Structure formats: C-alpha cells, structure tokens
C-alpha cells in the first residue's frame, strides 16, 4: 500500500512538474519569463507646483500626494515633485501641464483666472463655503462635473487635493480701523478677494509665496495674506509686518488642486486612474486636518514668542467687504454662459448648506461658548 501511494504521489508530482515546464516553455516562446506585473515599465511623471519646495502644508502636501500615488500603485507610477521655479515659475504650472511638458501640477484654481474667470469658483469665494461645504458641493452637489467641464478645453483634468480651511485676513503694516484704511492699500491678495479689495479702494497685487516676505519688508506691498499661522510662521512674516488680522473673509475654505494632463491620464489603465483619483481624495483630507492640527500651536507661538498683535477686522469693514463680494460674484456669474451655470449650481447648494450649517455647526459653536 505504501509503495502504491508513493508511486501515485510521484506521478502527480511529475505531472505538475511537466505542467510547469510547459508553462515556462510557452512563456519563453512569448519572450517573457516574469509575471505580467513585473514586466510592466514604470510610468514616470513630473509634478510641478506653485509652492516653494517642501514648504509646510503646501509643498509637503504635494510631496505626500506623490508618495501616495507611488505607494498605492506598487511603484507602477513614480511622481517626482518640483517646487516653484525649479522647472517653471509658480504661475506657469497650468500651462506646463496643459502642454504635457509635466504630467501633473499642484496649485489652486484662482491662479489661472486669466484662462477663464469662472475657475475661481473652484478655489475660494469670499464669504462662501467652508472646507466641508466646499467639498460637499464638489463631490455631492455637481461642482466636480462643472470643474472638469471648465478645464476640458485646456486638456487638463482637475482633482481636489487639499484645503487650507478658514484663512487669516493677513499681515498689515497699518491699522485697519475703518474703510478709509483700505484705500490706497497695496496688498498681495489673489482671486476674487483681490477684486473686492480693489472696489474698496485698495490695490491687489498677485505674487507667488516665495516673494511675499521681501516684498512686504521692502515696502513693495503694504499688506499680504498667505494662508494662516502654520504657513505664515514658516515664512517669518511676523518680521515684516506688525498687525495680524482675522477672519479670512476672502478665503473661508480654499481648495488646493492636483491637475493632470488629460492625455497622460487617459493613457493610464483603469486601475491606475482610480489610484490617482483615490490618492488625491486622501490628500484632500490629509492637508486640511494638518492645518487644523498645526494652526493653533503656530498662533500661540506668534503671540507669545514673537509678540504679534492679533486683531479682528471691524464689523463695519467686514459688512462692506461682504456687500462688495456679492457684487463681484454676481458680475462674474454674468460674464459668460459657463460662469452663469457654475454660479447657479454654487448658489443653489449654498442656500441649502448654509441653512443646515446654521442649525448644526453654528448653533453648536455658539452653545459651546457658553
């Protein structure tokens, strides 16, 4: 019995060995001796950004996104990140991705408003959505589809890939006690917020982050907004301006975007496309929660160690800025048929979500104050 069992097992082993040998022969005939996954070439992408290399929150967020894509794809896509000016200037990122010179970029939609003013809806609207509300509109209110439509003529696929949360109003070298103090003010402030400042009598200036400190210190500008305490401390802006104002009326929940060259994206197999999208969703959340976690510690350091004068903008100034913001956004909505459709989607969702926010988060926050 034992002898018969041995012969049977040996026979099965021989069949298995023969089968494997046959498989190897067939594979060899096809010119490939490794599994299909191993035979695939690594796809190498360049990501250009509007941020200084490895700058906290923004630059490091882009780096984390690149690592996520590489790790989630098992190394099938490798993404190398270039900070502002390493390959191209900060404000040329969109053009470089559109042309396909780089496959991917990281920035924010209001930097490209010269291409289409309606892009600004997908970045930040003064007195508009908070981060949670903005994400809700994009992913569950039709905003993402409109964003993709707006970028399509440029051969670019937009993906939400971060949010700063509510920003600070900025750094000022003069006190803001009334509307008169805004007149003649030269301030770095992009997007729709810059247009609002212009109508209030100021002069908006668009500068990349890397130029803010020297411009403020030298007097080229009188004030600047950037993001919030976490980033502003890293730039040392407290050394160049005396007053730090809040709230960030102009950017209550700014979306950071990953943009991908459409041709490069569509060349990916379906699973890698899904990985790129999923990695951006992770980064969209990760960057926001990092700001929530870091801003307060940075603010405490600015106040206690650097003795920064933190002030709230006067109510009458905020009220006037709110009125001007409504005018600016309404005029943008009337600037084109596409802008009108985006605004209609934005405003419909705003009316619904603001009503819920009032009886949920606002009511809770008021009650939490005691």
pLDDT band at residue 1, thresholds of 50, 70 and 90?
Answer: very low
CB atoms within 10 A of CB 135: 22
Query: How many residues comprise the chain?
Result: 370
pLDDT of 22 > 90? The answer is: no
Percent of the chain with pLDDT over 70: 89
Using CB atoms within 10 Å of the CB of residue 246, give its burial: 0 to 12 exposed, 13 to 18 middle, 19+ buried. middle
| Terminal alpha carbon distance of the chain | 86
Mean pLDDT of 209-216: 95
* pLDDT the model gives residue 369: 86
Q: Is 127 helix (H, G, I), strand (E, B) or coil?
A: coil
Q: At what angle do helices 131-140 and 337-357 cross, to 10 degrees?
A: 120
pLDDT tier at 370 (50, 70, 90 boundaries)?
confident
pLDDT in tens, 191-207: 999 999 999 999 999 99
Instruction: Report pLDDT digits (tens) over 276-328.
Output: 999 999 999 999 999 999 999 999 999 999 999 999 999 999 999 999 999 99
| Poorest-pLDDT segment among 13-22, 110-119, 184-193, 294-303 | 13-22
Query: What local confidence, expressed as pLDDT, does residue 47 receive?
Result: 98
Angle at 282 between CA 249 and CA 120, to 5 degrees: 35
281 or 15, greater pLDDT = 281
Q: How much of the chain, in percent, has pLDDT values that exceed 90?
A: 88
pLDDT of 144 higher than 80: yes
- The lowest-confidence range among 25-34, 208-217, 257-266, 337-346 is 25-34
Structural domains in the chain plus CATH codes: 41-164+253-292 (3.40.190.170), 170-250+303-338 (3.40.190.10)
Task: Provide the pLDDT for residue 15.
Answer: 36
pLDDT(4) > 90: no
183 upstream amide cis, omega within 30 of 0 = no
Position 342 pLDDT exceeds 80: yes
Q: What is the pLDDT of residues 214-244, one digit of tens each?
A: 999 999 999 999 999 999 999 999 999 999 9
């Amino acid at each position: 019995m034992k002898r018969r069992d041995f012969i049977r097992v040996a026979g099965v082993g021989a069949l298995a060995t023969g089968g494997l040998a046959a498989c190897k022969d067939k594979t060899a005939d096809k010119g490939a001796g490794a599994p299909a996954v191993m035979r695939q070439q690594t796809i190498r992408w360049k990501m250009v950004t509007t941020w200084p290399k490895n700058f906290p929150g923004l630059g490091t967020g882009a780096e984390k996104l690149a690592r996520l894509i590489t790790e989630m794809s098992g190394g099938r896509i490798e993404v190398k990140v270039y900070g502002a000016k390493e390959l191209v200037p900060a404000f040329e990122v969109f053009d470089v991705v559109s042309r396909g010179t780089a496959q991917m970029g990281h920035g924010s939609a209001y930097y490209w408003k010269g291409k289409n003013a309606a892009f600004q809806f997908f970045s930040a609207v003064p007195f508009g959505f908070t981060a949670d509300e903005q994400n809700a509109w994009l992913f569950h209110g039709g905003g993402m589809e409109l964003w993709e439509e707006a970028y399509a003529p440029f051969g670019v696929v937009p993906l939400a890939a971060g949010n700063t949360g509510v920003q600070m109003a900025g750094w000022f070298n003069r006190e803001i006690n009334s509307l008169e103090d805004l007149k003649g003010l030269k301030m770095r402030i992009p997007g729709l917020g810059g247009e609002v400042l212009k109508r209030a009598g100021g002069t908006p200036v668009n500068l990349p982050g890397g130029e803010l400190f020297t411009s403020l210190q030298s007097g080229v500008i009188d004030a600047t907004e950037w993001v919030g305490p976490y980033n502003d401390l890293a730039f040392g802006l407290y050394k160049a301006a005396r007053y730090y104002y809040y709230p960030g009326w102009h950017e209550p929940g700014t979306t950071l975007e990953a943009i991908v060259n459409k041709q490069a994206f569509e060349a990916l197999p379906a699973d890698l496309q899904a990985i790129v999208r999923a990695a951006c969703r992770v980064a969209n959340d990760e960057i926001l929660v990092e700001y929530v976690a870091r801003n307060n510690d940075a603010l405490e350091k600015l106040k206690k160690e650097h003795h920064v004068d933190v002030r709230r903008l006067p109510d009458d100034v905020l009220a006037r800025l709110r009125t001007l913001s409504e005018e600016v956004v309404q005029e943008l909505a009337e600037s084109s048929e596409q802008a009108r459709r985006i605004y209609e989607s934005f405003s419909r969702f705003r009316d619904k979500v603001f009503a819920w926010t009032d009886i949920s988060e606002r009511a809770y926050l008021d009650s939490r104050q005691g």
